[in-house]
Structures are given as C-alpha cells and as structure tokens.
Amino acid sequence: MLKIENRKIRLTDDGPFEALRILASIFIALCATFIVLCLVSQTPVDDFVALLTLPLENSFNFGYVLVKMVPLTFAGLATLLYFRTGLFNLSTEGIFYICGVACTYFAVSEARLTGNGFIDSAICIIGSGLAGGIIALLPGFLKAKFQANELVISLMLNSILFGIGFWIIKNFLAISGVTGQSSAPFVESAKLSIIIPKTQVHSGIIIMLFMVALVYILLFRTKLGYSIRMTGLNRNFAKYSGMSAFSLFLTVHFLAGFLGGMGSAVELLGMYRSFTWSQLPGLGFTGALMSMLGKDHPIGVMVGAFGISYLRASAQLLANSSPVIDIKMVSVVEVILTLLISSQYFLRKWREKQLLKEEQQHG
C-alpha cells in the first residue's frame, strides 16, 4: 500500500497564497481609504471606525448590507460563468438594465398578472431572466461563429441596450403627463415581500442563495459544468469532450444572461416601487470584481459581494451625517482591489523567494 505523507499547508501553496493575496489587497485598499480620509476629514480615525462598524449597530443597517449584496451576487455569478469559460464579457451591465425594462413590462400591468403574489413575482423574474438569456445569445453567437472580441461587443452592446430600454420606458411604460424617466408603479402582487421586520430584507435574498447553490451544482456536479471549467483552461477541450465550442459558448451566454436578468428583476421588485433607473446600474465591472474576489467560485462570489456591499452600505448610511464620506469613497477600495487582485505580479516575487528558501531548507 502506498502511504500518503501528511504535508503541512504552506502560504506558498496555491490556495493559501491566493487567500493571502486577497487579504493583503483588502488591507492595502483600506489603508488607502484611511489616507484619503486623513486628507479630507478633521476626524479621520472616527470616520474610518464608523465606516467599518456602522452596519453592525442595528438590524436595519445590517439588513441594508444584505439587500445591497443581492444584485452584486447575481452580477458576480453571471460574470463567473464567462470567466470560467475563458471569456471576458461585461454585457451584464446592459442586460441588467434592459431586463429591468422587461420586468417592468409585466410588473406594471394587472392584466398580465394573476393577483397571486408568488406567481406574479415568478412571472416577472422568469420573464426577465429569459429576456436576459436571449439577449446574451447575440455576443455568444458572434464569439462562437466569427471569433469576435467579446469584450468589445459587450461594451458596445451595453450602450445599445441602454438606449433601447430608455426609449421603451419613456414611450410605452411611463405615466402619461408626468416628466422624468419613471415607469408606472409596480402592481403590489408583483413585489417581493419583506422577510425580516423593521429592515429592507426581502425574499430576493432567498432566491439569491438558491441560485448560488444551483450555480455551484452546475459547475462542480454536472458534465456541463466540467466542460465549462475545462474549456476555460483549454479552448480545445469542448471539441474533444464531444460538445462543440459553438454550443458551449451559446449555453454559457444564455445562462449568464438569465442570471443577470433574474438579478435585475429581484432588485427592482425588492427595492423599488417603479422603474427609475436613468443610467446603467454599473454592474458590469462590479460583476468582474465579484468574480475575481471570489476566485470564480459561487460561494466566494457571495462572500466578496457581502464585503463590497458592507462598505457601500456603510458609506451610504454615513453620507447622511458626514460631509466627507459618500459612496465614491468606496470606489477607492474597489479600484485598488481590482488592480491588485487582477495583477499576476502582486506578491509573486515574495512567493518565489519563499519557494526558493523552502527548497534550500529541504535540499
């Protein structure tokens, strides 16, 4: 019998090293935020402590963190599927917006709904998801058929989808005689219910957890998930596994678009009374950050979304009482995290030195 030697877990191993990189990136980002506060605030220490602790002060504040993480998680899950297949697609940005319009189409009309809360919410969410999946097939087809650059296509598509969605809201779904870009109010039966009293936490968080579990099962317990993961490592794998790259790319784009559409509907029905988005929601690059923070793992994406939403919620809550803190402060953290985590060189020399020391010790 072969005896497997117990080996100590080292920081230079792939898993621990990636965790160290993320923790070091977070620490550097928070230090940069503190430096910015030192420049603009008369009480930087108090403001920094408040930024880190305010969501823990009461249930309403913590509930606000939870609802803020829902759209970030959906965006991260959608982007994760692209990244796992070796694609860099940011079309979740435009899909969130146009699918919000699709959700609104159902949610503002009692004639298109049944009056049953569960069924009406499902109609809006599934309808929005299908719209997202179908729209996402366009960049998927162009990539699979013509090897078009998916990043360029997705960025162009975002602007096109925004223009189309804005036009639809303004001309067909807005209240006549009222200025602005707001749609008619959502039918009550279509809205998601509050599940924790005295907070904004709605049933969409349950849907989010369910989708995280489904994406995990898809990636790690199904043949399709295996093909997605292996194709991300080697583009020729799909061909050798018996599944054409064309079919795989279309499937991944549909699933990612479906997740983006669902996330849009959940956010609207849980947090809004009508469609009021006058610009893109900013979830394309944020979804990429969630995927990178979570190392392209569904549970990791959810954890990363919680961390970013924690800071965003804290900054927005503090903005009511602090003249120097607003949501833009958190963008400092997000930009630094994106730069450090996406860089292959961050801490690489340290790792190489440690590996060299370990080889010399065991040599």
- Mind listing the pLDDT tens digit for each residue in 95-140? 999 999 999 999 999 999 999 999 999 999 999 999 999 999 999 9
Question: In the predicted model, is pLDDT for residue 340 greater than 60?
Answer: yes
Q: Are 264 and 93 in contact (CB under 8 A)?
A: no
| Residue 174, strand partner residues | 183
pLDDT reported for residue 264: 97
pLDDT band at 7; cut points 50, 70, 90: low
Q: Could you report how far apart the first and last alpha carbons of the chain are, in Å?
A: 27
| Residue 202, strand partner residues | 194
pLDDT reported for residue 15: 77
Question: In the predicted model, is pLDDT for residue 17 greater than 70?
Answer: yes
Helices (H), 108-182: 117-146, 150-168
Amino acid at 61: N
Task: List, in order, residues 6 or more apart from 352 with CB less than 8 Å away.
Answer: none
pLDDT reported for residue 5: 47
Which pLDDT tens digit goes with each residue over 229-263? 888 877 766 666 666 778 889 999 999 999 999 99
Phi, psi of 242 (to 5 degrees): 95, -5
The beta strand positions in 188-339, using DSSP E, are none
Provide the CB-side half-sphere exposure for 35 (13 A, CA). Answer: 8
> Of 56, 39, 79, 29, whose CA–CA distance to 334 is shortest?
29
The model's pTM is 0.91
How many angstroms separate the CA atoms of 349 and 40, rounded? 35
Which pLDDT tens digit goes with each residue over 134-170? 999 999 999 888 888 988 999 999 999 999 999 999 8
> Of 296, 327, 336, whose CA–CA distance to 309 is shortest?
327
How many angstroms separate the CA atoms of 106 and 188, rounded? 12
Which pLDDT tens digit goes with each residue over 265-284? 999 999 999 999 989 988 88
pLDDT band at 346; cut points 50, 70, 90: confident
How many angstroms separate the CA atoms of 275 and 319, rounded? 24
Place of tokens 């430096």: 35
